[in-house]
Amino acid sequence: MPEITYRQAVKDAMVEEMRRDERVFLIGEDIGTYGGAFGVSAGMLEEFGPERIVETPISEDAIVGAAAGAAMIGMRPIAEIMFMDFILLAMEPLVNQAAKARYMFGGKATVPMVIRMPSGSGTGAAAQHSQSLETILMHIPGIKVVAPSTPYDVKGLLISSIRDLNPVCFVEHKLLYKEKGEVPDEEYTIPLGVADIKREGSDITVVSSGIMVHKSLKASEILADEGISVEVVDPRTLKPLDVDTISKSVKKTGRMLVVHEAVKTAGWAGEIMASISETPAWDYLDAPMRRLAGKDVPIPYNPKLEAAAVPQVDDIVQEIRAIVHNKY
């Protein structure tokens, strides 16, 4: 299989779906001539023209509102929010309109729209451009939340999201855009709500998404030299969540650590831990479940402080050691 970047995989998914289905279009700020804030849509304006690569004013409320309206009358919009932080400006059309329309119309109306949003820290973008707000979106009934970690996953999941009949918030960590991986040329999809085991192990289950999957895998390699076998589970879809796959892994290893970049308070790690406590895996735990998350602070601009605000590889290594060696 050819090896491409995460950025290219996102673009390929959009281009292929736009070629396949004339109802699909892209809408957002600076997505046309400029090619998107992170270069994802470069060249798409030349192929599809301004009617399907729709440049908008600086108004996330208008972008999401227009996408929701278009979806309700049969189109398949992909709305790009320049930074995930800015989805907060569009919560009314997303939460009160798009998320509820299918339910309120008894299933006679659908809202097949995707909202793509670059998330996370690591680029020096500071407090207002570096947040991880997945949990806020997960809290809303009617919205699906997807957070792929590899080029293969991001393409397959984005195609599935575009074809889904519900609003999908599609989270792309900014540090992943340059990440390379194998992606097949032929068409494929990955179903929403199915987790993936990125590394098999026997001593502890680590659940993480996005950039934290890669940090967890690096930590696993370090710990393998110490004789600690780590299983890394990537939910891929945070809502709906594949509790069954996580539960089976925890039942096998007897230990669990959840790692995410979002702040610890009310983060989605707590939801996963609560879900596991409601499954048979609870009886197989040999140590307390733990979570490693971002500190409850705005993301700093200073690079050293920025790195200190979110989990790093060394933090994951230390946390796993403590759990496996019963230091808690």
Q: Is residue 19 located within the same domain as residue 158?
A: yes
Supply the pLDDT for residue 1: 87
pLDDT at 245: 98
Rounded Cα distance, 272 and 280, in Å: 14
Please check whether residue 261 lies inside any domain of the structure: yes
Say which CATH number the domain at 278 has. 3.40.50.920
Is the pLDDT assigned to residue 223 strictly greater than 90?
yes
Beta bridge partners of 116: 80, 170
Quick check: bond before 240 cis, omega within 30? Answer: yes
**pTM of the entire predicted model:** 0.97
Pair 320, 213 in one domain: yes
Q: Judge if 224 and 165 occupy the same domain.
A: no
| Pair 134, 227 in one domain | no
- Give per-residue burial for 4-24: e unless 16+ CB within 10 Å, then b: bbbbbbbbbbbbbbbeeeebb
The whole-number pLDDT of residue 59 equals: 97
Residues 275 and 243 sit within 8 Å (Cβ to Cβ): yes
Q: What is the mean pLDDT of the chain?
A: 98
Last-in-domain residue among 156, 182, 208: 182
Structural domains counted in the chain: 2
Predicted confidence (pLDDT) per residue in 229-285, tens digit: 999 999 999 999 999 999 999 999 999 999 999 999 999 999 999 999 999 999 999
How much is the average pLDDT of 209-218? 98
pLDDT of residue 327: 86
Pairing of strands 53-55, 24-28: parallel
159 & 285 share domain: no
CB 2 within 8 A of CB 182: yes
Q: Say whether both 226 and 82 belong to one domain.
A: no
- State whether 122 and 227 are in the same domain: no
Domain edge (last residue) among 182, 214, 245: 182
Crossing angle of helices 6-20/151-163, nearest 10°? 30
What are the tens digits of pLDDT across the range 265-275? 999 999 999 99
Answer whether residue 276 is part of any domain. Answer: yes
Q: Output the CA torsion sign for 6, 7, 12, 18.
A: positive
Match 């320049």 to its residue by tokens: 82
Same domain, 214 and 143: no
Are residue 64 and residue 136 in the same domain, yes or no?
A: yes
CATH of the domain at 105: 3.40.50.970
Question: Catalytic residues, which ones?
Answer: 129
Confidence tier at 34 by pLDDT (50, 70, 90): very high
pLDDT tier for residue 328 given thresholds of 50, 70 and 90: confident
The tens digit of pLDDT for each residue in 45-82 reads 999 999 999 999 999 999 999 999 999 999 999 999 99
- Residue 190 inside a domain? The answer is no
Mean pLDDT of 219-232: 98
Same-domain pairing of 144 and 221:
no
189 within some domain: no
Residue 117 lies in a domain: yes
In this structure, the answer to whether residues 159 and 31 fall within a common structural domain is yes
Q: Is residue 247 one of the residues assigned to a domain?
A: yes
pLDDT tens by residue, 163-210:
999 999 999 999 999 999 999 999 999 999 999 999 999 999 999 999
In a domain, 188, yes or no: no
In a domain, 191, yes or no: no
| Domain that residue 119 falls in | 3-182
Q: How confident is the model at residue 306 (pLDDT cuts 50, 70, 90)?
A: very high
Q: Supply the pLDDT for residue 317.
A: 98
- Do 142 and 227 reside in the same domain of the chain? no
